[in-house]
Each structure stands twice: as C-alpha cells, then as structure tokens.
Structure 1
Amino acid sequence: MSKRPNFLFIITDQHRADHLGCYGNDTVKTPHIDSLAAKGTRWDRFYVANPICMPNRASIMTGRMCSVHGARHNGIPLSKDHTTFVELLRDAGYNTGLIGKSHLQSFTGLPATNQFEPQDGLTTPSIALRDAYKNNRHSSEYDLEVAPKWDRPLSERLTGHFYGFDHVEVTADHGDQASGDYLLWARTQHPDFDDLTGPDNALPDNRINAPQAWRTAVPEELYSTAWIPDRAEAWLTEQARQEAPFFLQMSFPDPHHPFTPPGRYWDMYDPADMMLPASFGHGDLPPIKAMKEAMEKGTDPRNSQNPFAVSEDEARAIIALTYGMITMIDDAIGRVLARLEALGLAEDTVVIFTSDHGDYMGDHGLMLKLLLHYQSIIRVPFIWKDPKTTQAAVDTGLGSSIDIAATILSRAGIQAFNGIQGRDLLTSKPPKAVLVEEDSQRTMTGFDRPQRVRTVVTDRYRMSLREGENWNELYDLENDPYELRNLFDDQSAEVECVRQSVMETMLRRMINLQDRAPFPAYRA
C-alpha cells in the first residue's frame, strides 16, 4: 500500500439506503456493491445534508452545509469562490477525474421560479445591486452544464479545472433523457439516437402503467449507465501508467426518475413480487392528504420533479423498474472493480459508495422527494472499502454527507481547509445529532408557499421544523421506525420533555455549524 492511496468515489442518484442487499434488501440484486461492504465498513445511519441533488452534491464537494456554501436548492450553482476537497487533492498532486453526473451547476436552462420583482412606488436597484451577493452565480461560467447549450464537450469549454477536476466527461439529466457529453457520444454511435429516447419513441409494453415510466428504445450498450463504466475504465487504464495517485468520481444519474431501465433490466423484476413499504397507505400530514386527494381527482399531473401519490400497483411497478436500474448500476460497478484488479490498482485504491439522497419509493404512498424528511429520502448508503482492512464492519454512529470531504482528505494525508464542517469518519467520534436543511423555490401539491425546513436526527429521534406552517414533526425512531406516529403535538409531560431536549440539541447543532470562515486578516 502506497502512502498516498487512490480513490474511486461512486455516487448514485436518488437511491435510498435500504435498496441494497447489504442494507437488508433481499430482493434487489447488488452483489458488487455488497462485496464492498463485505470487506469494508458500512455506515448504518448516514444522512444527507440536504435531500436535493445540487445542494447535497455541493455539500459533499465542500464538506459544508448548504446554508453556508449558499447552494440552498436546485438552480443555485456551487460558487467557484468556495474551496472543494477535490481542489486540495489536485493541489497535493492527485490526478482528478469526474465521469458521469456532476450537477454542481443547473442543466435545465429553464427560468428560475424566484426572481427579483420591482415594487411599485420604490426605486428599483441596478441589476448588480439586486442581490445580497454581487457575484450571484448568474454569469456564463455557471452555464457550463446547461443541456440546451451543450454543443461540444465540457472539457473544450473549460478554462482550467472544473471544481478541482482536471478530466471531465459529464452526464446531465436522468434516465433515457440523459444529455451532456454522454449525449454527444451517443449521437456519434447512432445517427438517429434522438429518435430512440423519450416516451413518444418508447417500445410497446403492457406490463407497466405508472407515472414517468416507459420502455425505452435505447439499447443497453448506448444507455448512460453503460457509457459511464466504459469511460471510467479508459481513464483508469491511463492512470495505471502514471506515477501520481488518482481520484476518480464515477457518478450515475440513475436510479432517479424517469423510470426507464433499458433492455433486460426493464423486466428483470416482476412488480407482483415487490413488497410495499410498511408505511404505504399511512400518513395524515396535510401535504400527504393533499397529494392523495389530487391523485384520486386526477388533478396532479405527476410528470414533474414534485412528489406525488401513487396507487399500490403503481408503487410496485416503479419499485420493480428502480430495482432494474440499480442492478444495471451494480453490473457497471462490477466491471470497473474488475478493471481495477486487472490493472493492479485495487491494492492501492480506496473505494467509496454513496448516493446524493433517497426517494420515498412508496413510503406513505408517495414517490420522489422534497420537503417531508422521512428516512427514505434523508438516509443514504455509505460504504468505505479500504485496502488497509478486509474485515466487514458496521458503524452505527451518525454520519453526514459533509463528512465525506474531511474523511477523504484525512486518508490522503492532506490538511483540510479552514471552514470545513465535516469530521473524519474513520478517526473521530460521531456527533449527538446531524442536521438536514432544505429550502424550496416553488409551491407544489399540499404546499401553498415555498418551504424552509430544518431537521435534526439524534440517536433516537427525528424532528423537523418548518417556517410559516402550523405543523411540525417529531418521531421516536426506536419505537416507530416507519415514522407513523407524529408526536410533535403530544401534550404529555414525557413527550414535552423529549421535544424540548431535541429542540435544544438542534439549536446547539445549528450553532456548531455556523460558518468559521474566512480567517481574519488582523486581530482588530
């Protein structure tokens, strides 16, 4: 083992912790990911800093909470003024590569929901003075991932590195709608590739009838989940000839919706065999009631990023398709792990596996994510397979996405930058609580205003407080693991004591996570 290890950092998208064999799921087939846990450490209680793509990916990159780095929700890019752990690896001599999904910048190109609105009777500030930040990340350097503008490879449009990555081959979007560098490649492989994608070009199938699900005409070998390991293997082959250590982030845009696993992965799992979550059909929070009512009345389009209610048959169908996507990812990971072995790199490479957030996937009768912080969307897998050890272990302490950066830097022997908020998972004690933040930018079914939610998770409890609403949440995870009984309004003395204690824990954790950057220039 060299003094400076290599790193293969694998991220999936919208992948809840219990959708892996090593996390207790006996239906979905994930032998290669399970093999990492069989010889590494699996964190049983690992939580996101934010259950949304862009914010949590920014927190992974910086080791800092969203309220600090400012990418509070999708549509706000990670500022290039913020230091990433990949930049520190690069600075220390690592070769750095990103293959697959980045989503550190926006890729839809759609207008933002929240915009400055001039008020009648008041002088409107100049454009440069309408935001608290003069550099509000609206310039062209933050449009690098916008799919409609992706006419040539990202690497050709860069000046210098990309958040610390010298090598970039990026996928934007999800399912058979994936774009970016991947789409440029796919079009060279099949001149009429665009005629294979989307629901209008889907293959006929009578088995699945569920929102955002269609049998894609894209063949397995041209699907993004196949392209990513192809490119990763090629990059790793180059690294085997280099003296410098490497860090490769291999990031899959699946198993995120739309639910379009290609080829044999489409019908690999039978919906009739899928178990519904224990909480399916339960839940009386206002938005859950509203989503169920909208489904029954047919007033919810269920074709956007917003969460929606589903029937039992729809839930089983979507779970089956999601398992197909997960198994395809697992097969891709198996290919790359085999190439590491064949190149003689495995004995020097730390392999890490996680996801950016989860999915309700039928919990309380819902699909997707946003605003209700059940375990299914805030708890994600985290596996650390280090060649220094071969013993399987399970860590039951609380961990967070903000801890990933500090742990990698520590293992690489690199001092972290001032202001990093995460801890080294391998050498430090877990905190009493982890914090989850979420700010929305739009209304959705069950919410008549954008939401601001803060959640604290302790060894036993999960509490979520939201601004501007007359309801909050408190669950005893020890006695109510499926979060069926909301205790927040329970007036008993016992629950009142718990509520105050957890609220104090949340406040102390929020104080602890106040920013400690920048360094002062002088004493005073």
Structure 2
Amino acid sequence: MNVVFVISDTFRRDNLSCYGPTPVKTPNLDRLAEESYVFDNAYLGSFPTVPNRLDIMNGRFNFIDHEWCPLPSETVTLQQILSASGVVTQMVIDNPHLIENGFNYERGFDGWEWIRGHESDRWKVLPKEVTLPAHPSKLNNAHFVLPNYLRNTAWWKSEEDHFAARSVTEACNWLEEGQNAEKFFLYVDLFDPHEPWDAPKEYVDMYDKGYEGEEVIYPYNDYWENIMSEAELNHCRALYRAKVSMVDHWIGILREKVKKLGLEEDTAFVFTSDHGYLFGEHGQIGKAFKPENGYYEACRMYNEMRRIPLMIHLPGQKKSERIGALVQSPDLMPTILDLCGLVASKSFGGKANIQALQCGIFYTKDWRFEPESIHGKSLMPLIRGEVDKLRDFVVCSNTIIHHTPVVSKCAVVTEDGWCLHYSGYYDEVLKESVKVNKVLIELQPSKGKVEPELYYLPDDPNEEHNLIEGHEDLAREIHARYVKWLEEVGTPEEHLAGRRKLVLK
C-alpha cells in the first residue's frame, strides 16, 4: 500500500482528545483517531528533534552512539530501501534542522521539497531591523534565531503563508502530480507547533482572547517564574495551542486531498511527533533549562516530553482500535517497510528476516542493509493481533556519548508503570567543558552526579512524588535491566561504562 507519514514537531500527546480531556481543539486529528489504530503507550527513543528523526529513518536507538548530527554516511535509511524497492519516495519538509548546514536527511528520497524560512534557517536578510515581541530576557535565542525568523516571515499576509500551510499545500500538489505512481511513500515533516508560536489571531483568540501583554512566542528555557508572569505563561500555552489547532486544520486538508484523489482505499496515513514541551510542569518552560550558574543542561525526561501521539490509519479503516503495548519511535521504520510490502524487523525471539519484492535489492555497490542492525520492531503484528506486546519496558534518552549526567538524562518506563530517571554515574568530578550539539557547556564540580528518581505512574502521572527511598531494590532491578538492554543493542563500551553503576543515597 501507499503511505503518507506526517510528523509534527513538539506536538504534545495531551493535545488530542483521544488521549483524554483537553481544551485544545483538533477536530481533524480527532476524526483521524476515530478511524485509526491509536497507540496509548507510544514513546520517543532518542531526544530531541534530529536524533528522533534518525531513529525513525534507520530503526535504531541512536542515543547510544550518536548525538545531534548530520545523517551518518554509513546509515542505510528507510527511504533508501523503499526507493531501491520501487516505491516512489518524496519528502516535504519545513523543519530546517534536517537540511541546513549539510545535515542531509533528504538523502535517499527520490524527490524532496524544503519549505524555507523556519526558525534558524538563514534565508532572508531583509528587513534588517525587526521588532522583538517581548523583552529579550524572556526570549530564547533573542540575538539570532528569533530575529532571523522574524525576517524570514516579514512578508506573510495570510494563513496560507505559514509553514504548515505551505508544506501541506506542496504535499497536496505532489499527490496531484504523483497519484498514478504504483506505490509511494510521502514523508511530511512539519516543524510546527515548535516555537516560535505565531499562529493567526483567530486561532489565538480561541484560547486567550483579549490578552494585552508581551508575546513570549519563543520562551527562554528556564524555570518559568524566573522570566515571566503567570499571565504570560498562560498566554504561552494559548499561543502554542493556537499553532496546534492550525496544524490540525492543515492536516485535515491533507487527508481530504487523499480522499478526493481516490487514494484512501490503498493508502495508510500515519501521524506522530518527536517529543513534547513543558509549560510550567516541574516549574519549567521548554525542554532544557539554564540554572543560575549559567549553562544549559537537559531537564529530566518527564512524561510530558517522552510520551508521544501515534495513530496509524489503514486503507478502508472506519473505526478506532486501541493498542496498549509499549512502542517507540524506532519501530516506525520497520512498520513502514511492512506497510509497503517489505519486512525488516526482528521476529519475536527469532532471527531478523527480509522479504522483498525482488532478490538483491538490499545490496548495491554503494550500501548494504543488515536487518539485524535495527532495534525497532514492526507494529503490524500488534495491529493484526498476532502478538500483544513487543517489549516490557522503554528507554527514552538524550545522547549518552558525552559521559556527563548533565546531558545524558534518560527515563526507563516499565510495563507495570514504574519510571526510573537515571543519568549515569561517574567517579571523577567533571570540571571541564563539553561541546554538545555545537554548544559549549561549562560543567561545574557540583554537576558530576545527578541523583536518580523513581515514580509510580499509575498513581502519580505528573511525577511529583519520588519513591526511590524505600524502593531501592526495585530501582536496582530496573537499572540492571537497562544496562542489559544497552549491551543487547550494541552500546559501545566507552559510552556504557558510566551507565553500569546506580548509586543511591
């Protein structure tokens, strides 16, 4: 079958009514949920944006040996395999980070279209002077990224000029032109509702009409009380929700185009995200924070960030089905291969297998794909009811290659609802700087260790009550399972060494 795959950056799971009561209006995604397999326990693997896309494209948990980086030259991607198998592959993307600075994540697609200008994309140089919407102390990257974005978008006159609108319009145009392809894979990467939040006023008025304060459209990542008032925080929520509703509107247009072109009966539609965002939970705003001593560090991998929406609509499907099994972003690669008539996944307890339309397509003079190298597992056996689970715990993590708990924070969530927050343990006190994602982080002696925490999510979904005292043996058991898993997925020993020890108070 054909596949339309849509990923929307920073789209919190609790925006959608299929996951519980919400003030956010997403009627089109609600309708999609009513006609899809809805995954109740979908989690990211690698965090954040770029590492997550690498997980999706190569089916691996890349935090074990990569960070935010260009597409590795040795990586065989989902799109390469599909293209080599006769599936027409097209990328439509407004997410700048996968393309700019030679990151090359379009590699392997038969065709690709980059909608220019989002966030850090160095596109427009005029107008030279722009007006910030709030005091610089409240804004993230007020010296470059936000002014750059404001220059890139100064020409906008209507909703149709916004990034989600332009990307979906391009995707619809491609469907019009390519509808006669025997098989196709359309990958649509929407950076919205990622900051900056600047949806048209009619969307904002749905959530905070009459607000007259500063517009903190791209907040500084910090403890929110350090930088803004409660009214400004509430307005940030409204700005974000407005962009979510705009994204929903344009995803509805994309789905309608699939229907109008008569493609629905042989086209699967997949919707997901890469991670969430904190809007005051745990006292923070953003997905990292900058403590008083002046350096960024990863915040803990909280529930609001690690849990993601995932819906898969199969051709002709008319009703919703719920799947409670634990699934993760790397599972999407083998799932899409499966949907397209190929299989590249570890069978449950058995050896990996490949079935293809023709012999030899997974080996050329330029690259070779080893199915045993992927960590993800096709979700189709869950959908078909052949199995009831793929794994009994999930690992959601920042990169672990820098050997510092300041950066390498992760969450291990078990099937029965326990969550261990863990950041490794290093005997030597770290005093030197580390370059992470091209940002120099000055490590302080006090940050050589980050205490583990343990939560029981069925009773404490907001992770407010650390239960590690009194449950030390359970924490050690979960940690031991995590270390064994790191070994099984091939974590290099140099990155694994600092993860072997769990030290409790």
- Short-chain TM bin: 0.7 to 0.9
1:91-490 paired onto structure 2 within 5 Å: 91-102=84-95, 105=98, 107=100, 142=102, 162-171=106-115, 174=118, 177=119, 179=121, 194-195=126-127, 200=131, 211=139, 218-219=156-157, 220-242=159-181, 244-270=182-208, 306-310=221-225, 311-370=229-288, 371=298, 372-416=300-344, 417-427=371-381, 428=387, 429-439=389-399, 450-459=406-415, 460-467=417-424, 468-488=448-468, 490=469
Deviations 1:362-386 (A, max 9, x none): 2122111132111111111000111
Are the structure 2 counterparts of residues 303 and 384 from structure 1 closer, same or farther at C-alpha, using a change threshold of 3 Å? closer
Deviations 1:396-415 (A, max 9, x none): 11110010001111222213
Gaps of 5+ in 1: 110-141, 146-161, 188-192, 274-300, 443-447, 517-524
Gaps of 5+ in 2: 141-145, 289-297, 345-370, 382-386, 425-447, 493-505
Equivalent in 46, 54, 74 of residue 50 of structure 2: 54
The residue that corresponds to 2:41 in the other structure is 45
Give, as a single letter, the amino acid of the residue that structure 2 aligns with 1:100.
Answer: I
Give, as a single letter, the amino acid of the residue that structure 1 aligns with 2:160.
Answer: E
Give, as a single letter, the amino acid of the residue that structure 2 aligns with 1:80.
Answer: S
Counterpart Cα distance in 2 of 1:357 and 1:497 = 30
- After superposition, the CA RMSD in angstroms is 3.3
Kindly tell me the number of residue pairs found equivalent between the two proteins.
407
Moved more, 416-425 or 259-268: 259-268
Deviations 1:135-174 (A, max 9, x none): xxxxxxx3568xxxxxxxxxxxxxxxx3321111124674
Give, as a single letter, the amino acid of the residue that structure 1 aligns with 2:488.
Answer: N
CA contact (8 A) 2:9 2:194 kept: yes
TM-superposed CA distance for 1:44, in Å, is: 1.2
SS at match of 1:402: helix
CA contact (8 A) 1:210 1:318 kept: no
Give, as a single letter, the amino acid of the residue that structure 2 aligns with 1:425.
Answer: L
Equivalent in 481, 484, 487 of residue 511 of structure 1: 487
Counterpart Cα distance in 2 of 1:8 and 1:375 = 28
Give, as a single letter, the amino acid of the residue that structure 2 aligns with 1:246.
Answer: F
Counterpart Cα distance in 2 of 1:388 and 1:515 = 41
CA contact (8 A) 2:95 2:190 kept: no
TM-superposed CA distance for 1:439, in Å, is: 3.0
> Matched residues, percent identical?
29
Structure-2-length-normalised TM-score = 0.73
Counterpart Cα distance in 1 of 2:486 and 2:401 = 22
SS at match of 2:86: coil
Counterpart Cα distance in 1 of 2:51 and 2:319 = 34
Counterpart Cα distance in 1 of 2:132 and 2:453 = 43
Structure-1-length-normalised TM-score = 0.70
CA contact (8 A) 2:71 2:103 kept: no
Give, as a single letter, the amino acid of the residue that structure 1 aligns with 2:196.
Answer: P
Counterpart Cα distance in 1 of 2:170 and 2:253 = 11
TM-superposed CA distance for 1:65, in Å, is: 0.9
Counterpart Cα distance in 1 of 2:38 and 2:325 = 11
Are the structure 2 counterparts of residues 515 and 473 from structure 1 closer, same or farther at C-alpha, using a change threshold of 3 Å? closer
SS at match of 1:331: helix
Equivalent in 13, 23, 38 of residue 19 of structure 2: 23
Deviations 1:235-254 (A, max 9, x none): 00011133x21101111111
The residue that corresponds to 2:478 in the other structure is 502
CA contact (8 A) 1:221 1:227 kept: yes
CA contact (8 A) 1:463 1:473 kept: yes
Deviations 1:189-239 (A, max 9, x none): xxxx954x996176xx9xxx9746999763322111110111011000011
